[in-house]
Amino acid sequence: MLHLYDTRTRTAQDISPMDGKTLRFYCCGPTVYGPAHIGNFRTFVMQDVFRRVLELGGVPTTHIRNLTDVDDKTIRDSQKAGVSLAEFTAGWADLFHRDCAALNCLPPHAEPSAVGHIPEQIRMVQTLVEKGHAYVSEDGSVYFRISSFPEYGRLSHLDERELDLGKTANTRSNADEYEKDSVADFVLWKSRRPEDGNNFWPSPWGEGRPGWHLECSAMIHKYFGNDFDLHSGGVDLVFPHHENEVAQSRCACGGGFARLWFHITHLLVDGGKMSKSLGNMYTLADLDKLGHRPSAVRYVLAGGYYRRPLNFTLSSLEDAKAALNRLSKFDMQLRNASGTDSVPSYEEFCAAFPELGIFQPAWDSLNDDLNTPEALGHVFSAIRKADIPSLSPEEAARLRNAFHFILAAFGIILPEEGQEKAQAPEEVRTLADQRWQAKQNRDWTEADRLRAEVAALGWVIKDRKDGYDLARK
């Protein structure tokens, strides 16, 4: 059984469904105002590994992940782009879905959007006002009264910082996001402002739009009711976002809200924080231009322990590529020894647990608080231990199934033969194609010049009778 560190209790908890049937969990999804970066995807990849380990272990899941398509940032940037909010966010949502598919993330079972659930949000605000947990300001905005919920701060352990709820009585935050040391009554409904343009909806308090913290609570209540198994997101969401979710949800609906909390720690790049000014806020497209495939990105993101900061470097992608090639070579040896190409699908693995043999320690580590680096260590230890020449075809097939079961838990996609060429940056591929054409034209001088350009970029052309391959120097 998987056990996981719970943010609220700060203890390891067994992960099992409250209803004894299906594990219901909610993940805060992206704000669709630009491309998601690798820091975002660290969270989504680890949530995907979490789901895979559960499902492969025989626990069905219901996975809900939202899209934030209305907030300060989406409105601001859609206005700058001169397009409607719907058109603006749809484009970025499509890119996010393509990136998730490239990283081999399972799609959620439902993906509600904030704009698609405005009535539910208005009803929740009405309930909070009626119960005395929220109040209407002079301009028609509605704020949650933190002092009305004495348990505020339990999730993020603000009580350990001598939180004085009375101090919020005359303090309000109208921003969707604010500093972590700012404890203030937060906005549930924001009154219409000129900078919002046409992005507003009618409400009992006048025209306006929901606040960011409210959106997830309303969608969770619609899909899961008052109680569900687990809530997840990046560690940066613990306060104020998730703390505010707990407060407004429990005050409006009763119940316990999320039983467990799963948070993923920050991603560092070259030992420091990501920032646009440093040019290290990488997207998948950025890394593809540098010749790094999504499979290597996934390997790096999944291979770091989720409770520790992961230091992402370009050299770590090179290491990932080498590791994937080693895994692929092992798979090819097993395939040849077994005499078959077929392995069970993910769905087949979920339905029938295989005999793991030498890969059992890797599976045990995954169930021990998703210790992915330890699990990968066990995978390579098993590869070293395997005596493939001594195996019968049936034994080789069983070992290969066990190997692919662990790969399925990680969501790892093995490279195929001849993928080196596709991994090269676009500039290198273009030059190599031009050089091949020069060879066909028997323009040896031009071919040599282009080969030298490719070499200067760190790549070697390896000619074949029918084409060429590319390899790093």
Which pLDDT does position 418 carry in this prediction?
Answer: 47
Residues 202 and 351 in one domain: no
Name the DSSP letter for residue 182. Answer: -
Residues 318 and 341 in one domain: yes
Residues 92 and 117 in one domain: yes
Give the pairing type, strands 11-14 and 61-65.
unpaired
Which residues are within 8 A (CB) of 3 and not within 5 positions of it... i.e. 6 or more apart? 12, 13, 14, 15, 367, 368, 369
DSSP secondary structure, 305-348, as one string:
-TTS-EEE-HHHHHHHHHHHHHHHHHHHHHHHHHT------HHH
The phi and psi torsions of 68 (rounded to 5 degrees) equal -90, 105
**Residue 438, pLDDT above cutoff 90:** no
Residues 284 and 428 in one domain: no
Residue 345: is it exposed, middle or buried by C-beta count within 10 angstroms (0-12/13-18/19+)? exposed
Residues 309 and 429 in one domain: no
264, 295, 310: which is the final residue of a domain? 264
Tell me how many domains the chain contains. Answer: 3
Segment 348-373, tens digit of pLDDT: 999 999 999 999 999 999 999 999 99
CATH number at residue 368: 1.10.730
Residues 319 and 447 in one domain: no
Cβ atoms within 10 Å, residue 167: 12
410, 440, 459: which is the final residue of a domain? 410
The residues that bridge with 113 in the sheet, in sequence order, are: 67
Give the integer Cα–Cα distance in Å for 41 and 315: 18
Residues 367 and 395 in one domain: yes
Q: For residue 354, is it within any domain? A: yes
Q: For residue 369, is it within any domain? A: yes
Q: Which domain does 454 fall in, by range?
A: 420-472
Q: For residue 415, is it within any domain? A: no
Q: For residue 434, is it within any domain? A: yes
Quick one: pLDDT band at residue 243, thresholds 50, 70, 90?
very high
Which residues are within 8 A (CB) of 176 and not within 5 positions of it... i.e. 6 or more apart? 71, 72, 73, 187, 211, 212, 213
CATH number at residue 104: 3.40.50.620
Residues 129 and 209 in one domain: yes
264, 281, 298: which is the final residue of a domain? 264
Segment 435-439 long-range contacts (CB within 8 Å, at least 24 positions apart): 435/461, 436/467, 436/468
Q: CA 158, 162, 166, 172: dihedral to nearest 10 degrees?
A: -50
Residues 227 and 325 in one domain: no
Residues 154 and 243 in one domain: yes
| % pLDDT > 90, the chain | 78
**CA distances to 24, 208, 278, 464 from 453, in Å:** 54, 57, 28, 19
Q: For residue 68, is it within any domain? A: yes
Residues 183 and 326 in one domain: no
Residues 253 and 316 in one domain: no
Which residues are within 8 A (CB) of 138 and not within 5 positions of it... i.e. 6 or more apart? none
Backbone φ/ψ region at 70: left (φ over 0), alpha (ψ -120 to 50), beta: beta
Segment 182-234, tens digit of pLDDT: 678 999 999 999 989 999 999 999 999 999 999 999 999 999 999 999 999 99
The residues that bridge with 142 in the sheet, in sequence order, are: 136, 189
